[in-house]
């Protein structure tokens, strides 16, 4: 039986995306923590030269970049259940994953989540100017997703896809900040999607 080992901290959104796909495909795995708040050790850099998380080891072979990991898992363990069958559906799924990577993650997690949730938990004051600058960027990214996604009931329609697993962990953190209201003021479909998908058992399991 194939041995899967996932490296990364349980609080990471990208790690949570992979863990959701592992859970949804009933794939057993070991989770090995990586401390992302200090320098990566050489053993981890040998698996992932960029030092980012997650990395998935498959029988000892390291695979990194979340998009590559989840597409691999969907193929080998999910029978492609989480990828649309039509070309445009596949393109939309990858487009949403790319929007999350390129335009949403940095302002939503790198700035708003860090400033609103992490900095105060360590006794610091949030950088309000940075939060104010990040909020319209999050709004633009969520509105871009809303414009191309039916969100009924899943982002791309009747079947849940890897795009949902990309966006859900980001929404978990964003929903704990006051910036959620402004960022989703023009995205009624995404608000409904979040209200229903926030109870997905695989999500609840990874944030527990
Ligand atoms: N392109 C990477 C990005 C992963 C990423 O940014 N992970 C964050 C945690 S959610 C990380 O490693 N942060 C630590 C750091 O940047 O040093 C992927 O898709 O896996």
**Overall average pLDDT of the 132-153 stretch:** 98
CA–centroid distance, 40 to ligand 1, in Å, is 12
pLDDT value, residue 24: 98
Minimal CA–CA distance to 33: which of 22, 23, 25, 41?
Answer: 41
What is the extent of the structural domain holding 69?
4-76
Q: How many angstroms separate the alpha carbon of residue 30 from the centre of ligand 1? A: 19
Question: Which of 76, 107, 133 represents a domain boundary (last residue)?
Answer: 76
| Rounded Cα gap, residues 126 and 200, in angstroms | 31
Integer Cα distance of 119 and 113 in angstroms = 9
Antiparallel, parallel or unpaired: β 4-7 and 30-32:
parallel
Ligand 1 centroid–CA 106 distance in Å is 10
With respect to residue 207, please indicate whether it lies within any of the assigned structural domains: no
Contacts of residue 59, Cβ cutoff 8 Å, sequence gap at least 6: 2, 3
CATH number at residue 144: 1.20.1050.10
Are residues 91 and 191 both part of a single domain? yes
Pick the residue whose CA is nearest to atom 16 on ligand 1: 52
The response to whether residue 14 sits with its C-beta less than 6 Å from ligand 1 reads: yes
What is the mean predicted confidence (pLDDT) over 121-134? 98
- Of 76, 100, 135, which marks where a domain is finished? 76
**131 in any annotated domain:** yes
Does residue 121 share a domain with residue 151? yes
The confidence band for 95, taking pLDDT boundaries of 50, 70 and 90, is: very high
The stretch 65-75 carries a mean pLDDT of: 98
Amino acid 15: pLDDT: 98
pLDDT, mean of residues 133-138: 98
pTM equals 0.98
């Amino acid at each position: 039986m194939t041995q899967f080992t996932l490296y990364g901290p349980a609080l990471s959104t990208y790690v949570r995306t992979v863990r959701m796909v592992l859970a949804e495909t009933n794939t057993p795995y070991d989770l090995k923590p990586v401390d992302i708040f200090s320098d990566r050790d050489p053993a981890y850099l040998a698996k992932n030269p960029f030092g980012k998380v997650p990395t998935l080891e498959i029988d000892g072979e390291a695979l990194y970049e979340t998009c590559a990991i989840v597409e691999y898992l969907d193929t080998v363990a999910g029978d492609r259940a989480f990828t649309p069958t039509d070309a445009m559906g596949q393109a939309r799924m990858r487009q949403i994953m790319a929007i999350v990577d390129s335009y949403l993650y940095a302002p939503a997690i790198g700035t708003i989540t860090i400033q609103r949730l992490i900095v105060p938990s360590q006794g610091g004051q949030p950088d309000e100017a940075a939060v104010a600058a990040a909020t319209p960027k999050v709004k633009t990214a969520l509105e871009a997703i809303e414009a191309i996604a039916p969100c009924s009931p899943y982002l791309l329609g009747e079947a849940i896809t890897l795009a949902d697993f990309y966006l859900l962990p980001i929404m978990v953190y964003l929903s704990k900040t006051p910036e959620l209201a402004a960022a989703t003021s023009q995205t009624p479909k995404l608000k409904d999607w979040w209200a229903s998908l926030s109870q997905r058992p695989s999500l609840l399991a990874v944030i527990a």
